[in-house]
Amino acid sequence: MLRRLWTGSPLTSRREGNSSMTAHYQERFARALLSPSLALPEGIACNSGVAPVKRFGIYRNNVTTGLAQALAIRFPITEKIVGEEFFAAMARAFVKENLPRSPVLLDYGSDFDRFVAAFEPARSLPYLSDIVRLENAQIRAYHAADAPPLDKRAFADLKSDDLDKLRLELHPSAAVVRSHFPIVTIWSMNSGESRLGPIEEWRPEQALVVRPHLSVTTRLLPPGGAVFLESVAGGKTLGASAQEAWHSDETFDLAACLAAALAAGVFASFTRGRP
């Protein structure tokens, strides 16, 4: 009889169902999808005459597994570090507590680092959540707005006094990721950009992520580089930003840092202004 509910007799000759039930099908279905018990929503059926536990389970599984897979695609190096199985379990635990709010999944997992930092089974890898933050910066850069990067010779005609008062706008894709751990080294060993091996100097590293054209690049920032770029991004002049960088690290080399930043395509535009 149920079979006829799917392909049965024509529209006009059928009896209309209980409309109050209809109004709530979605609520019942959604609640059962989210419930940790395997209870079925009321009002579902199948033609084989059993309670459709396995059938409903396909939907349950699609939701969790699909979103966990989306995270695996978004965080490939994090997955590589902990292994597929560990990552899948961690991702499923995250998904259960953090379903997306939007049908656009490009940002899904932007807060995954906080979950990973508090995820008990991952405690032996204290740098893991910083790798997650680095991969988040990379995916944001991947989808960021397009803009031509400032040319390498953009400042060639400026006098040093003008240079001091410059305000620079960072490229829309640019981000600085700070860490207490050697995240750039760990990331590049696992992404195949450098050879996998023991890390001799276990020191803090700051990463610069930027996508001046189509490819996302990840670089190790020199001492003071993170402070400098964050200060520039905050709207301070080049001179003031360099001062801040020197205060944070006396080995900061403005000329080298500026040249490297220009070569990386970090800046989108500049204006001359007062300090």
Partner 1 sequence: MRISELPPRAGVGFKPQHFRDIDATPQPVGFFEVHAENYMGAGGMPHAHLARLRQRYALSIHGVGLSIGSAHPLDRAHLSRLRALCDRYEPQSFSEHLAWSSHGVFFNDLLPLPYTKDTLQRVTDHVDEVQNSLARQMLLENPATYLLFEESTIPETDFLHEVARRTGCGLLLDVNNVFVASTNHDVDPYDYLARFPLHHVREIHLSGHAATTDEAGAPLLIDTHDSPVLDRVWTLYAAVIRKIGRVPTLIEWDDKLPDWAVLRKEAQDAQAIMDRLPAHVAA
Buried b (16+ CB within 10 A) or exposed e, 43-68: eeeeeeeeeeeeebeeeeeeebeebb
Measured from the CB of residue 136, what is the shortest distance to partner 1 in angstroms?
A: 14
User: Would you state the structure tokens that stand for residue 194, as one six-digit string?
Assistant: 């450098």
Q: What are phi and psi of 26, to 5 degrees?
A: -70, -40
Measured from the CB of residue 234, what is the shortest distance to partner 1 in angstroms?
A: 22
Helix (H) / strand (E) element for 271: namely: strand 267-272
User: Would you state the structure tokens that stand for residue 152, as one six-digit string?
Assistant: 């390498």
Binding residues vs partner 1 (CB under 8 A): 2-11, 14-19, 21-23, 25-27, 29-30, 33, 43-56, 58-59, 62-63, 66-67, 70, 99-106, 141-146, 172-173, 211, 214
Q: Which is nearer to partner 1, 100 or 275 (CB)?
A: 100
Measured from the CB of residue 170, what is the shortest distance to partner 1 in angstroms?
A: 15
Measured from the CB of residue 20, what is the shortest distance to partner 1 in angstroms?
A: 10
Q: Find residue 167's DSSP bridge partners.
A: 271
Q: Which of 194, 172, 173 is nearest to 182 (CA)?
A: 194
139 three-state secondary structure:
helix
Buried b (16+ CB within 10 A) or exposed e, 210-231: bbbeeebbbbebbbbbbbbbbb
Measured from the CB of residue 16, what is the shortest distance to partner 1 in angstroms?
A: 5
Helix (H) / strand (E) element for 169: namely: strand 166-170
Q: Which is nearer to partner 1, 53 or 263 (CB)?
A: 53
Q: Which is nearer to partner 1, 55 or 178 (CB)?
A: 55
Measured from the CB of residue 55, what is the shortest distance to partner 1 in angstroms?
A: 4
153 three-state secondary structure:
coil
Q: Which is nearer to partner 1, 43 or 235 (CB)?
A: 43
Q: Which is nearer to partner 1, 172 or 223 (CB)?
A: 172
Q: Which is nearer to partner 1, 95 or 232 (CB)?
A: 95
